Structure 1
Amino acid sequence: MDLVKRTIHMDQVKCSANAQMTIEDDINITDSRPDVYQLVTEQGNVDVEEMRAVEDHVRIKGTLKFQVLYISDEEIHRPACMEGSLPFEEQVYLNGVSSSDSVTVRAMLEDLSVGMINSRKLSVQALVDLNLSVEKVEEIEAAVGIDGEETVEMKTAPLQALDLVIAKKDIFRVRQDLELPGGMPNVFHLLWQTCSLKEMSCRAQDEKLALEGEISLFILYEGEGEERPDVWYEASVPVRGAVECQGMREGMLENIRFGIGHQELEVKADADGEERKISLDLVLDLDMKLYEEIRVETISDLYGVDREIEAVRQPGCCKQLLTKNTGKTKVSGRFSVGTGLPKMQQICGSFGEIQMGAVEPCPEGLKLTGAISVRALYTTQDPDLPFYCLKDSLPFSYIMEVPQARQDCRYEIEPALEQLTISMLDSEEADGKAMLSFQGMVCEVHEEPMVTSVNVSDLDPEKLSALPGIVAYIVKDGDSLWSIGKKYYVPVARMKEMNDLTSEEVKAGDKILVVKGWN
């Protein structure tokens, strides 16, 4: 006799660790760039290029890439930009990792600070958060039936689980040409650019994943003409399309992480030969997991009628979905220009990055805290310092409703900055408003004994002869038709028929007639 089994794939975290590292060095201004008069702002990203696991450690190599916007020390003070990179190598302790494991590393730039040593040298300091994890897929074999000729009584119980169907990484390429509005000058030189991803949505379809979202683009450029005006331009680039994915079916549960990978921004000539076309070529990195929520009837117990059948059990874990939802919250605050800093004339663009803090279970679900790191680039009335940047933060706190959330629940939360608006109140104060969204998938893991095999043997003649052929059984506390039938090797359906029972429910004191071999 064999068990018929249903395979359930469950992703588990074998080991994980969080670490921080500092990257710092002094950088010389490249010869092609003018001297520095005043720093304005900076931005950067961390690229992990190589990782190698050894026993209980992971060696990580990568590069910090950064851009610095500054005011040049020339006859006319103009904005200028310098790009640079700092390589890094770090060894992180990860208990339980082995050389054969595939390690996922997420590197997030927590803080970037650039200081001016002199007009040709800058100091760069960065604080990087490293999240390391090793995931494995465990195959759970759930017994759902029996293949054999033996007469077997079988009891089942419902099992709900998340079955991991697809786990892969992919990319989606975004190409978009933007034309400058008619009132703006041609581009002479591109000075500064930022590209950020707003909320992305996706939906599983047959053999593909449909994507929809938006990319926010900001550029600062030097325009053509005798006065060489400094001009800024903002645009929203739609993201719409699909990623082919074999085996995907409509209705699957998506858990997708998005990130901006390689990006290029190029100024091209339009149909009239004028430098007015902004060409964006960007790659979205996708870390994809697709699940199916299944419900199966699994064998919880069984016994033989004409043979001795014993169930062999082992502990098994199953992942169950508590909730998959999206929540939004509004955040607001006021910012002031610091003492001695140039006053605001006009805000050019506002930028924000989400710094997630703690995620803690609470009676209502999960409490999410953190802050939005905000920068607002503005023009000033000072000809020596035409641009400056206001930097501050907007703290947030949000409760994501999760039914039956427990301390040991497992969650994956992806935040997104949908909107950010910084408005001037006066030359020294600004008002900030933001809309945050959170996509959350919250699960819990249950461990329970699962039937993995059966031992079949002939009935013990002595044990069988000791059992009476007919019994007037008085039900005791804790008894059930199942336990009575198992004790006397009698099918449950036979006892129901013999006693004219319409259900399997019995209570203490009931009298049940048990007849061995009654047909």
Structure 2
Amino acid sequence: MGLELIKENVVVEQVVGENRFQALISHDIVVGDLKLDVEKILSVSAYNNIIRHEIIQGKAVIEGMLNCSVLYTGDTDKLIERIDAQIPYTQYVDIKGAEARMTCEVSDYIESADASISNSRKISLNVLVDLNIKVIERKSIDLIADISGLPDIQVLRKDIKINNTVGQGVSQEIVREELELPQNKLDIDEILKADVNVAVENVAVTSGRVTAEGYVSLNVMYYTGESVHPLEKVAYELPFVQVTEIQGADEGMLADVKFYIDDTSFKVTQDADGKNRIISAEVLLKCVAKARMEDIRDVIADAYSMMRATQLSKSTYRYRELIAKEESQVEIREVINLSEPATNIYDVNTRPVIIDYTVSDGKVISNGVLQVSAIYMTSGGDTVVTGDMQEIPFNMAVEAPDATSDMFADIEILGNKFTYELKTSRQLELKSVVNVSVAVFADRDIELVTSIEELDVPQPERASITVYMVQKGDDLWGIAKRYRTSREDILNANGIQEEDVKPGLKLLIPKKFVQ
């Protein structure tokens, strides 16, 4: 019977290259004729939406849209003015080895958003967008799963864990609610701003779909039309369940989801008594979902015949292995010193940003800042309403079993809940709980047998028994292959276990006779 190879096909995703790129998007906002002159900027909010991405030779092309809002003070007749801007952008990011036939993954977050006054009718906006791009090539490989036809063949098997993308999809869903004001809140004269954030609480994969559950946190600040208490703030949580269709997805798989806010609409409507106490809220969510499967394969990493000359062909492949995926949270407490004495806090907004991380043995340590903006009424002087923007540094350690310093991590913020209290006129006490997801990956290189053939070459004779002293770097497989015997025969002849094979040990290696 001749040599026969049994092969299996496997698809391996290889990360060809990656680049963390910081895009500084600058834009001038011209104040419209109906808006007040700009005296002081109170706060800047921005969220990013990745519209499209593609790979060209040596580069990734990222198209996105920044949605920005700036609150500022004008004159005392109207305490706060708001101006909005939508800023499209295109970024070309160099990625060595990238080709048009490849795909890419893009993760993004806004690291900072700042505004300055150019003149009373122009605001200069600078937004720093952090883009992390990975270029991926899918390779189809025929692996040797088994060898038959040689009775004395010895094989070295290894398990490899391949993390592959089964499919991905995009879905849109409108989260729509009629929101009533609490009884202790004054009627709405005009909505000044609405901050929207998405928090994901659960992700499940079922046949053909990925389902994400969570809530949209909505913080609304509005004018009341009252001179004594002109501004109010109200907060809501809008639950949602969003389904993204993905062909090939099934139970037991892993999933990654990324949410973007495509559009928002907030209108004031009247209640049964004819009062402006209802907010008709619509938030258009876009979900980019990916289903992944961990494929464990038993493959042949090496082989030899004890009696016949054979020639192996090997290839080295790199694949990405998911080592651990954990969720955790960090609690941030801080007393913020206000620049002016405050009588009433109108609005506080927080945004956590992860700046960098390190992977050490068994854990991932991340460093970040909690960006805080506060708008409040002052107790004296000419300024009636003012605002402060500060950053609170934080770090957190997430336990990740089997993580080592040569690995890397993907860290995603899942949600952020916070409370605040004005302790004194100049001190604002803040408590924030930030939830994160941490995935630890390792790039593995493995040399696999791709073909083997029998050669018509006589094997040299050797002594019936050889004495060999184990050297540093030796393993039992390498020794057995060198002397064309089996691992089992060496262990049996010496009455030892494989873990006993250490440098300095003398081994009796019998000659193998195959019928």
Amino acid at match of 2:299: T
TM superposition shift of 1:404: 4.3
> Partners in 2 of 1:117 and 1:485 — Cα distance?
76
- Secondary structure of the residue aligned to 1:216 is strand
Aligned to 1:73: 75
TM-score (norm 1): 0.82
Identity %, equivalent residues: 18
Amino acid at match of 1:176: R
TM superposition shift of 1:369: 0.8
TM superposition shift of 1:291: 2.5
Asked whether 1:421 is paired with 2:422, we answer no
Name stretches of at least 5 consecutive residues in structure 1 with no aligned partner: none
Q: 1:346 to 1:208 in 2, by over 3 A?
A: same
For the 8 Å contact 1:354–1:417, the answer to whether it is kept is no
For the 8 Å contact 2:49–2:262, the answer to whether it is kept is no
Name stretches of at least 5 consecutive residues in structure 2 with no aligned partner: none
Asked whether 1:173 is paired with 2:173, we answer yes
For the 8 Å contact 1:415–1:436, the answer to whether it is kept is yes
1:282 to 276, 281, 284: 284
Query: Which deviates further from its counterpart, 324-333 or 354-363?
Result: 354-363
Residue correspondence of structure 1 range 70-469 to structure 2 within 5 A:
70-73=72-75, 76-146=77-147, 149=149, 151=151, 153-177=153-177, 178-223=179-224, 229-254=230-255, 256-267=256-267, 269=269, 272=272, 275=276, 276-292=278-294, 294=296, 296-304=297-305, 308-338=309-339, 341=340, 343-381=341-379, 385-457=383-455, 459-460=456-457, 463=458
1:174-201 CA-partner distances (Å, limit 9, x unpaired): 4131233344455442211101123543
> Partners in 2 of 1:322 and 1:438 — Cα distance?
17
Q: 1:143 to 1:335 in 2, by over 3 A?
A: same
For the 8 Å contact 1:482–1:492, the answer to whether it is kept is no
1:295-350 CA-partner distances (Å, limit 9, x unpaired): x3322333458865433222223433322112222222221112xx3x22232332
Q: 1:412 to 1:226 in 2, by over 3 A?
A: closer
TM-score (norm 2): 0.82
- Secondary structure of the residue aligned to 1:39 is strand
Amino acid at match of 2:6: V
Amino acid at match of 1:349: D
Aligned to 2:6: 4
Aligned to 1:22: 24
Q: 1:5 to 1:68 in 2, by over 3 A?
A: same
**Structure 1 residue runs of 4 or more that deviate by more than 6 Å after TM superposition:** 224-228, 479-488, 490-493, 501-507
1:401-459 CA-partner distances (Å, limit 9, x unpaired): 334433331321113443222221111111122222221111222323211111134x4
- Secondary structure of the residue aligned to 2:78 is coil
For the 8 Å contact 1:165–1:291, the answer to whether it is kept is yes
> Partners in 1 of 2:478 and 2:405 — Cα distance?
36
1:67-112 CA-partner distances (Å, limit 9, x unpaired): 12223426x2333321124454554443333455545555543322
For the 8 Å contact 1:56–1:96, the answer to whether it is kept is yes
Backbone CA RMSD of aligned residues: 3.9
For the 8 Å contact 1:53–1:99, the answer to whether it is kept is yes
- Secondary structure of the residue aligned to 2:424 is coil
Query: Which deviates further from its counterpart, 502-511 or 190-199?
Result: 502-511
- Secondary structure of the residue aligned to 2:35 is coil
> Partners in 2 of 1:485 and 1:277 — Cα distance?
76
